[in-house]
Amino acid sequence: MASHLRAHAPIGQRALLLTTAAIPLTGWAVHATALRRRLAAARRDPLTGLHARPGYIRQATRCLTRHGDTAMLVFLDAVGFKAVNDDLGHDTGNELLIAISSRLQEWVGDDGVAARLHGDEFAAALPCPAADRAKRLEQLHTLLHRPVDVDGQAVDVAMSIGASSPSDLHSRNLSYVLRGAEGAMYEHKRERTGLYRIATPDHAGEPTVNGRRLGRAGTTDHPLDSEDLR
């Protein structure tokens, strides 16, 4: 009997060691799951549920990789949003942002991604052949410029829209295509003509002032000497 117990002791010890080792591994698995959930939440904007900037960059990269020259990146900025907050209150401003987000998500559909980058700045990435871009961007303009009903009050919406594609910029570099969309959007914001802007290489190479595109707060619209640009 004693010899029987001695024969099985090593097996019991090994089982004990395996059980002990599994405890911290289980803890790490739970921790990793929680971490993944927090990271996923960080990629979402808490107000609108759209992707935040990190999530957008990841999805835009995937869109460019998958669709190449038929990918389109879009930057958007609400016009006069500060006045809405100042005159009608932040709750109304939030309702406006939520409505813009819902419409943008509707526009990109299942094949695209919509994001809120910061404040009243939005972005999208989706497949869109060159022949369809004008029609799709006109649809976006119409969709976003419908007044938003907030507690029975119609709040007007105006958006600056800039779009870029590797086929127009002759590059699939993410940063370059993003700069093109942003540059086109700020030109649309400055000039306030037309329904949107489609980026050219000039938009992608547009200089910044104090780290910001021309037309943003902290910049001026008049020409600047090269030493003023950075």
The phi and psi torsions of 29 (rounded to 5 degrees) equal: -65, -45
Q: For the residues of the chain, what is the DSSP string, one character each?
A: -HHHHHHHHHHHHHHHHHHHHHHHHHHHHHHHHHHHHHHHHHTB-TTT-SB-HHHHHHHHHHHHHHHGGGEEEEEEEESSHHHHHHHH-HHHHHHHHHHHHHHHHHHH-TTSEEEEEETTEEEEEEE--HHHHHHHHHHHHHHHTS-EEETTEEE---EEEEEE-HHHHT---HHHHHHHHHHHHHHHHHH--SS-EE--HHHHT--EETTEETTSTT--SS---GGG--
- Return the closest-CA partner of residue 57 out of 37, 77, 42: 42
What pLDDT shows up at residue 205? 84
Minimum mean pLDDT range among 141-155, 184-198, 210-224: 210-224
Look at 25-39, 150-164, 199-213 and tell me which has the smallest mean pLDDT: 25-39
Q: For residue 195, is pLDDT > 60?
A: yes
CATH topology of domain 53-228: Alpha-Beta Plaits (3.30.70)
With 70 as the cut, is the pLDDT of residue 223 above it? no
Residue 9 pLDDT exceeds 70: no
pLDDT band at 86 (very low <50, low <70, confident <90, very high): confident
